[in-house]
């Protein structure tokens, strides 16, 4: 039987709130068995860009990454966010080690081809370095990924953190029974925004229906698509919800 | 016989010049055997701080690191500088992996006690994680350290890159025959600033004499003290000079 590996993704918003970050890190450190963390950092990058007078351009919820934005993103994600999380996890006895996709050539990508939209320095993942991540896990290290990849030719690329978490979990199924946990501020995928009712089990059919009749928020679609993609790749379990999904079963929305 | 390990320290100035960075990375990637890189990033942090309207305070060539400065330093050193170097080294086939002292608990430190000067969030190194660095080297990974450490209680600390390079090389003598190479913009330690004459071999006595009569620039003292400290700890070779010291013997200043 394959050993279980938890891949947890957290939103960047958490990092800006020291109390919330400490609470999350304590919960994450207590999670048993090998684990990998993936974090965003969107808000901090936007705030830094604004302080520097750089306008953040977004299309369909995705950042348009020009040269200046890439600098800001790298400073914010790989610098402040990643190291703050790593130092905090270390304080709870979790042997965290921060990585961008360039580090140890852990995640390779190609710059997204320009079609209708030019996303700029945005990377579509081509390979996950299974061997490196396995070595780190076997050395009892917890890899902490920020939302950056590289093209192997010296270019860093911005890549969506939800996508990184999905690609990582899909790649690690070779040697592990993978659980993918998307942690965010909501209790799960909501069937009715007003009533705040969590859908306990979500199929692709239910998703299509919910998006069609407007009961599932359109902003959830990329996250859910990433989740279903992971399931199709052999990931054993995909759960979306608040921090409680780290504690025990029965919280959040499970994709099926 | 112990295997040779090269510990190379480069100044932060290099990173701001893409051509110089590529040239250095090509040279460093060609360096045979296990190796570790340590980099500063002083100018980029100062530039970022100035853009953000944060004043950089310096006392005796050392940055005073308040909370805001630490954020800037972390973004600049661990973010932009570290990832730019790592991505560039990867493009030359060097399997670089960037680290702060918090990552994998690689370098522990304590916040410097307040005496005449309050340095703020500045760390004095207490331990280097030999086992982690050895594991990375054995996995054919080249660790790339930025000038940050941590206290194990969740606090990142700013630590001089020359000091980190010295402490790393001193710690690695347990299992390796270490060479410490300080790469900077000058040809070596100069005996006469106007004539630009390199001192090929420098002893502690010559250093004292040179500082006394003003022929050795006072700004060199901390670097040289770090170099001699490494020698005393059993480091086999300490050389200071420009990039040519990576290529062959006979360049720069050797400490003896």
To the nearest whole Å, the CA of B77 is away from the closest chain A CA by 7
Find the CB nearest B102 among A80, A83, A141. Answer: A83
Q: Which of B253, B168, B164, B243 is nearest to B217 (CA)?
A: B253
Which residue does chain A place closest to B18, by CA atoms? A154
- Find the CB nearest B148 among A77, A83, A88: A83
- CATH architecture, range A3-255: 3-Layer(aba) Sandwich (3.40)
Q: Tokens standing for B224? A: 């040289």
pLDDT at residue A242 tops 80:
yes
Please report the DSSP string for chain A in residue order.
-PEEEEEEEE-GGGGG-HHHHHHHHHHHHHS-S-EEEEE--HHHHHHHHHHTTPPPEEETTEEEB-HHHHHHHIIIIIIIIHHHHHHHHHHTT--EEEE-TTGGG-EEEEEPPPSSS--BSBEEEEEE-HHHHHHHHHTT-EEEE-SEEE-SSS-EEE--HHHHHHHHHHHHTTTEEEEEEEE-SSSS-EEETTTTEE-SEE-HHHHHHHHHTT-S-GGGHHHHHHHHHHHHTT-SEEEEESGGGGT-TT-SEEE-
Please report the DSSP string for B232-247 in residue order.
Answer: HTT-SEEEEESGGGGT
What confidence score (pLDDT) does residue A3 get?
96
Is B154 within 8 Å of chain A by CB?
yes
Domain ranges of chain A: 3-255
In the block, tokens 């990552």 appear at B103
B74 touching A, CB under 8 A? yes
Nearest CA in chain A to B140: A104
Distance separating alpha carbons of residues B79 and A77, to the nearest angstrom: 7
Residue-level pLDDT at A143? 98
> pLDDT tens-digit profile of A120-176?
999 999 999 999 999 999 999 999 999 999 999 999 999 999 999 999 999 999 999
A152 touches chain B (CB under 8 A): yes
Mean pLDDT over A35-60 rounds to 86
Asked whether residue B37 carries a pLDDT value surpassing 90, the answer given is yes
Q: Is the CB of A48 less than 8 angstroms away from the CB of B90?
A: no
Percentage of chain A exceeding pLDDT 90: 73
Confidence band of A39 (pLDDT split at 50, 70, 90): very high
Which residues in chain B touch residue A88, judged by CB atoms under 8 angstroms apart? 154
């Amino acid at each position: 039987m394959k050993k279980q590996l938890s891949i947890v993704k957290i939103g960047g918003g958490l990092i800006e709130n020291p109390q919330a970050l400490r609470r999350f890190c304590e919960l994450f450190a207590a999670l048993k068995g090998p684990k990998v963390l993936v974090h965003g950092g969107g808000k901090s990058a936007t705030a830094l860009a604004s302080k520097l007078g750089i306008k953040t351009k977004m299309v369909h919820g995705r950042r348009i990454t020009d040269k200046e934005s890439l600098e800001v993103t790298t400073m914010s994600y790989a610098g402040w966010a990643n190291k703050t999380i790593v130092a905090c996890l270390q304080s709870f006895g979790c042997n965290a080690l921060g990585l961008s996709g360039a580090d140890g050539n852990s995640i390779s990508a190609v710059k997204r081809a320009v079609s209708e939209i030019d996303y700029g320095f945005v990377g579509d993942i081509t390979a996950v370095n299974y061997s490196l991540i396995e070595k780190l896990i076997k050395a009892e290290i917890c890899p902490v990924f920020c939302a950056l990849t590289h093209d192997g030719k010296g270019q860093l690329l911005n890549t969506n953190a939800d996508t990184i978490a999905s690609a990582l979990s899909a790649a690690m199924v070779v040697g592990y029974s993978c659980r993918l946990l998307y942690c965010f501020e909501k209790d799960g995928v909501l069937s009715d925004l007003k009533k705040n009712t969590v859908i306990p089990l979500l199929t692709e059919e239910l998703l299509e229906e919910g998006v069609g009749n407007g009961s599932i928020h359109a902003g959830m679609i990329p996250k859910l698509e990433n989740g279903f993609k992971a399931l199709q790749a052999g990931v054993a379990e995909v759960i979306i919800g608040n921090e409680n999904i780290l504690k025990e079963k029965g919280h959040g929305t499970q994709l099926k």
